[in-house]
Amino acid sequence: MDPKKQISDQSDPSSERPIIPVNKVQNSNIEYSITVKTGDFRNSGTNGPVYINIFGRDNKQTQDLLLSGHDKSFSQGCTRKFRINAIDIGKPQRIIIRHEDNLTGWYIDYIEISVHNFLVRFVANRWLSRLKNDQKLEAELFGSEQPAVMYNVEIQTGDEQIEPLDSPVYMQVYGTTTATPKLFFDTKNASFTKDSISKFTIASNNVGEIQRIVIGHEGLGKVNDWYLKNIKVQMLSQQQEYVINKWLSPTLGDQRLFVELSQEKPRSPSPPAPSIYLITIRTADVPQTETTDNVEMIVRGSDGQIAKILLKDYAKLNDKQLFQQGNLDEFEIEYEDIGNIESITIGFSDSKQKVAWLLEDVDIKYQETAYRFQAQCWLSSRLGPNFSWMTIKPDINDDDINYNVIIETGESGIDANVILCIFGDENTTTNLALRTTKDGSDAKFDANSILEFDLKAIDVGKIKKINIGHDGGEGTDQHWFLKSIQIEKKDEHYTFTANRWLSTDKDDKKTFIDLLADEKKTPPLSPVPKKDQATYTITVVTSSEEDAGTKSGVLMTIFGDKDSTKQFQLTNTKQDDKALFESGKTNEFEMELDDVGSINKINIGLDGTGVHPTWHLKSVQIQKGSENYNFSAKKILNESTPFIDLTPTPARKTPSPEPVKPEKARSHTSEQKIPPVKETAYKILICTSSEQKDTINEDANFYITIYGQKDQTKKLYLKHAIISDKKNLFKKDDKTEFEFKTMDVGKISKIALGQDDSENELVWHVDNVTIKRTNETITFNAEQTIGRNSEIELLPSAIPKKTEITYKILIRTGTSQEEGNDSNLYLIIYGKNGQTKKILLNETTKTNKDSSVKKNDKVEYEFKINDVGKIAKIVLSQNPNEQTLSWDIDNITIKRNNETTTFNVERKIEKDDEVELTPSPILKKTETPRKASKTVDTTSKLVAKTKDADYEIIISTGEQALEATVTLKIRGENGTVRIPLTQTKNGDTPFQSKSTNEFTCRTTDVGKIRRVIIEHDGTDKNMVWHLKTMQIKKGNETYNFKADIHLDYKENKANLYPVGALFGHQREDYVQSELRRLRESLRSESSKLRPPLHKAYEPFVYNDLSPYFDTSAVEKAIYSPLEPPPGYYTRLTALRIVEPWETYGMDYGVNYEILKQRKARSFSSRRAKNVTQRGMMIVPPMSLPFGGQITHINTAEFERALQERSRSSKHRSLSRHNNNNNSHQQQIQIIKINT
């Protein structure tokens, strides 16, 4: 049976047409919001370009979309969002995502796509790596709008297994709504051993009701024979068990690496027997440099389809090498009847763009019916996206027409396979193989030869362009000079002039090119005067943003007031640059074209070829004679906007460098070149740091870019400069001067140093840079490292003077010191003028070299390093990767010139510890070591550090338990302690499912707790511990940690930080702190106020300031508790500054009807009856400030009381405390209370 019955055409990687035309817009573009989550594993990010192809229903697709950003987009654990315009394919059903970084792998958690109010998640949970899983850099993922679910899988290997399987094992689940991708079961140790049971838990799509699963392995290990006994799959409430008992092996059993499993269902009395489809595939008898056996095919019928299958799994002869030159390969597929076969899709995936396969034809025989599919087409992703796939119909296409093709070869021929593709305004041909000439002989593209071909293909309409090339790759010594191609179809004739090399070593190193048709010229009836020619110097600047460059061809047309040029391609620069239009690069071209007069605009854009048809164009400059034209672009050109029009600033004459006598105007020939920009000499002195270890030769690809107020230089490669002393080039502590003569950028604002692609992993430690330009000298302090494909930016800064001095380190060990060597102790010294690097003391000079470290001993080291000034602190640490002794240090003394600095330690330094120490006097000790008198020293923090405290630790476990040893590391303001959580307070087994365990320990007081690290040493690969919460009590301090995390075999530790307030301590509140600040400010300002002079009473004039000093409400807000009592003070926004009863009324007693009545100052009994009937009454709480419960509100009395209080507000404020009883009586009249 077929291993991949898909859901309604989900796995078709290409459209119904073999190639989608470049020039024909098929759908309007919409915006896709794409979120990519990279896994949080070590080295799980990628540096390579990432492409995504989105598929909808009916095989609609967006083509490859490049996901890129200005930063490193896909770093470890990051989540990145992209907004990309592409054609509308409806609701996304599946995607193919890939990256092109062969050196590092990439772990994808998931991809989310938002479009048309759909939010579809594609769960991956897998590596795209050459070393992991299926060793592929691309994956097919299926979407779902439901949240991901957990799949619990139990796999049993049979007793027939001899050696453990070491090939990657995967499972794929198909359901009623969607399917999961390949779910790989990652294991560090051998899991699939003889008669073993392996358990896994993995998250993926919710597929609905499970219909079938596919389980298998990739066959990439040393042992690829696996006897699978049974498998259990549990997802939510569904649990299914499958009994297999068969070999999954390339040599045993039925010689298949996978098996398809489905639940047995009741069948009809006489089920139809599955049919046999016999497929024969013929590969053309031509040389092919590199082939693949991973060819896949889809067969579509009138009553169904055979979804995408890997043909090699159904080969008749398993030991035969498939799809080789002249092969006739046969395959048998057992499948139900799909009706009359209507079309097939065949192809392969090739992210490396190396494979080229010439498919001759495909024959399918089913029962008594035979179908033939004529292909005669090259399949290769080097020709463009999806050119490695094609869809063919069995019937003969009556729309095919004849093409007469004539190819002229120049000075050098080729014996590789030549491929031609014709693009028109209506359609595009398949990749046509030019292997048989018109007279029937084999095509040989010898030097200075002309070959003629008769080809039959679909009518493309008016021909717009062609793509031609050969498969002679690197190392094949294939250099073809193509002169021209002529194509004749029906009554149309087209000529394509090339006159260029197709070679990996010449010109732009391309073996495939796009050519536009020459302009048609009719024979002139009378001699036509030749147009005037002019020399154009064209300078193109590509933006320095990340991924700004392009591999596509760049086309341009120049328009003037007299005429316009024909469209031409920018190919050969004046400097013969091999790489064009790279990020931050400036390319200069010189062209002999028609004189268009004064230039008024240009049209520039991309031809859409290459793997990166996107270009960020910064500017264009054109010089024609003495006229300069500047065009500012700052635009991104892509498939949606391939061309733009640019208009120049007004034409200006090139200024003369100095006043000269007037001369007669003369024309400039191509030999007379006027420099477009002023040049100047730069002398660059670069000092290499003392940390330099690698030996770097003079051919290294290091470069410098100089930025100024006027402009910037291109990348100036140091190997191309005039070098003062090549012997000391890039050597430790040496200086080298590089001299360049290039454009004058004005006053220098910054520089960039970097390294391009190199065969070797070179690292250059740069200390500082000095640039001299005419009368200007600028220094740049670097102290940075430049690695492969990296760049640093430097701003002008002073270079600090560095002097080396001798440091002497004396370490006194304690009573618990283990005896051994000192190979793992590191030291960093921080001073007033900087800090030292991380110093491994074992590599410095040791006074007593032969002796090992002992308890109560003195160990002295001495080394020379840059002076950091007066010592402020030191940091001690050990190498966590070395299994050596632990240090027990009493104190450390450091001598620097005449300065002696002491550090009191008195502690052990464990493997993962990093101890920061500040200078402190050494405590006096008695005769017995480590029994120093505990004298009080207010200047030292040692006493606080050595105090002990009782810790009470409470941990809650969720549904998933843990059977392992747990260690808790607590980091505080005074240090770090490590507490093993092995024995609970009541003696129970810790960390059981849904349990809460309490641990107690007395150890060093770390002060205020900053964070904790909890980890376990579990070795079971299937173990997952659900840590819900943790609480630590220390004295009267309580710290709560909300974890709710899952720890497993790989991720076995987590950092947790305290949340909430410390009980027993006053919590800082923003409002309270602001009120305190305001109170102090008011006190300060009020002290400056003076009361006015006393005078006789006048109305509305106060004689004292007592009303302004009444701060009781503010004092109450400051010192009242933040948490309100239950059923009281329910309006926190009121800040408790109003009366309690007013607060209560605002919460529960007021509705908008009563507000209307207050505004109108009137109330009617008729409206009072409708208040509750309209549902506007707000139900009060169960309790009141005075106790009891509200059963009825007399709204009339309520309104009267409000009016009464408003009229006597002044009087009430002065006699508030005297009227409490009366107010209470009024409230009882308004509200009837049950007590």
| pLDDT one-digit tens code per residue, 828-856 | 888 877 778 788 887 787 777 666 788 88
Compute the half-sphere exposure of residue 1043: CA atoms within 13 Å on the CB side of its CA.
25
The span from the CA of 1177 to the CA of 1155, in Å, is 13
SS3 468: strand
| pLDDT one-digit tens code per residue, 413-460 | 888 888 898 988 888 888 888 888 888 788 888 888 899 998 888 888
Are 914 and 841 members of one domain?
yes
Confidence at residue 7, expressed as pLDDT on a 0 to 100 scale: 36
The span from the CA of 621 to the CA of 713, in Å, is 15
The dihedral built from the CA positions of residue 493, 494, 499 and 504, taken in this order, carries a sign that is negative
Are 17 and 141 members of one domain?
yes
- Whether 1037 is in a domain gets the answer yes
More confident: 911 or 335: 335
The span from the CA of 827 to the CA of 863, in Å, is 12
- Whether 182 is in a domain gets the answer yes
Are 972 and 1052 members of one domain?
yes
Which 8-state DSSP code applies to residue 268? -
Are 1146 and 1038 members of one domain?
no
More confident: 447 or 1154: 447
The span from the CA of 1218 to the CA of 1224, in Å, is 12
In this prediction, residues 871-886 reach a mean pLDDT of 76
Q: What CATH number does the domain containing 686 carry? A: 2.60.60.20
Domain end (from 630, 651, 672): 651
State which residues form the domain around 758.
680-794
- Whether 56 is in a domain gets the answer yes
Tell me how far CA of residue 1052 lies from CA of 108, 126, 650, 1026, 1047, in angstroms. Answer: 20, 19, 67, 11, 5
- Whether 667 is in a domain gets the answer no
In this prediction, residues 913-918 reach a mean pLDDT of 82
- Whether 656 is in a domain gets the answer no
Are 557 and 568 members of one domain?
yes
Are 124 and 14 members of one domain?
yes
Q: Which of 351-355, 573-577, 1008-1012 has the lowest mean pLDDT?
A: 573-577
Please check whether residue 55 is in contact with residue 89, taking contact to mean a CB–CB distance below 8 angstroms.
Answer: yes
- Within 8 A by CB and 6+ apart from 1098, the residues are none
CB-based burial label for 380 (10 Å; 0-12, 13-18, 19+): buried
- Within 8 A by CB and 6+ apart from 218, the residues are 133, 134, 135, 167, 168, 170, 257
- Note the maximum CA span of the chain: 129
- Within 8 A by CB and 6+ apart from 874, the residues are 827, 828, 829, 830, 892, 894, 903, 916, 917
Residue 1123 has pLDDT above 70, yes or no: no
Are 252 and 282 members of one domain?
no
Confidence at residue 558, expressed as pLDDT on a 0 to 100 scale: 92
More confident: 544 or 1139: 544
The span from the CA of 278 to the CA of 364, in Å, is 6
* pLDDT band per the 50, 70, 90 thresholds, residue 1198: low
Domain end (from 366, 392, 418): 392
Helices and strands, number each (H, E), in the chain? 9, 70
In this prediction, residues 1102-1118 reach a mean pLDDT of 62
Residue 1149 has pLDDT above 70, yes or no: no
SS3 479: coil
Q: Which of 259-263, 577-581, 781-785 has the lowest mean pLDDT?
A: 577-581
Are 25 and 138 members of one domain?
yes
Residue 693 has pLDDT above 80, yes or no: no
* pLDDT band per the 50, 70, 90 thresholds, residue 1201: low
The span from the CA of 296 to the CA of 388, in Å, is 11
| pLDDT one-digit tens code per residue, 155-169 | 999 988 888 888 889
Backbone angles phi, psi at 841, to 5 degrees: -65, -30
The span from the CA of 304 to the CA of 337, in Å, is 8
More confident: 1098 or 62: 62
- Long-range contacts (CB closer than 8 Å, 24 or more residues apart) made by 898-904: 899/870, 899/871, 901/871, 903/874, 904/940, 904/942
Are 20 and 76 members of one domain?
yes
* pLDDT band per the 50, 70, 90 thresholds, residue 75: confident
Domain end (from 769, 794, 819): 794
Residue 1155 has pLDDT above 70, yes or no: no
How are beta strands 899-909 and 839-840 bridged, if at all? unpaired
Are 137 and 258 members of one domain?
no
Residue 517 has pLDDT above 70, yes or no: yes
Helix (H) or strand (E) holding 1076: helix 1070-1086
Tell me how far CA of residue 1221 lies from CA of 175, 1138, 1225, 1228, 1232, in angstroms. Answer: 74, 19, 6, 11, 17
- Whether 1072 is in a domain gets the answer no
Please check whether residue 358 is in contact with residue 369, taking contact to mean a CB–CB distance below 8 angstroms.
Answer: no
The span from the CA of 191 to the CA of 873, in Å, is 50
632 alpha carbon, distance to own chain's centre: 32
Per-residue three-class SS string for 875-928: EEEECCCCCCCCEEEEEEEEEECCEEEEEEEEEEECCCCEEEECCCCCCCCCCC
Confidence at residue 834, expressed as pLDDT on a 0 to 100 scale: 73
In this prediction, residues 1151-1175 reach a mean pLDDT of 43
- Whether 1098 is in a domain gets the answer no
Please check whether residue 871 is in contact with residue 900, taking contact to mean a CB–CB distance below 8 angstroms.
Answer: no
Please check whether residue 281 is in contact with residue 323, taking contact to mean a CB–CB distance below 8 angstroms.
Answer: yes
Backbone angles phi, psi at 383, to 5 degrees: -85, -15
| pLDDT one-digit tens code per residue, 316-325 | 887 778 888 8
SS3 541: strand
The angle subtended at Cα 1027 by Cα 1021 and Cα 1033, nearest 5°, is 135
The span from the CA of 317 to the CA of 323, in Å, is 13
| pLDDT one-digit tens code per residue, 731-759 | 777 888 889 888 888 888 889 888 876 55
More confident: 390 or 935: 390
Confidence at residue 485, expressed as pLDDT on a 0 to 100 scale: 94
Residue 1112 has pLDDT above 90, yes or no: no
Confidence at residue 611, expressed as pLDDT on a 0 to 100 scale: 59
Are 822 and 863 members of one domain?
yes
Which 8-state DSSP code applies to residue 1022? T
- Whether 1199 is in a domain gets the answer yes
Are 707 and 826 members of one domain?
no
Nearest to 351 by CA among 150, 130, 27: 130
CB-based burial label for 522 (10 Å; 0-12, 13-18, 19+): exposed
pTM to 2 decimals? 0.29
| pLDDT one-digit tens code per residue, 960-985 | 888 888 999 898 888 888 898 988 88
Number of domains in the chain: 9
In this prediction, residues 1192-1199 reach a mean pLDDT of 55
| pLDDT one-digit tens code per residue, 887-897 | 888 889 999 88
How are beta strands 1231-1234 and 554-560 bridged, if at all? unpaired
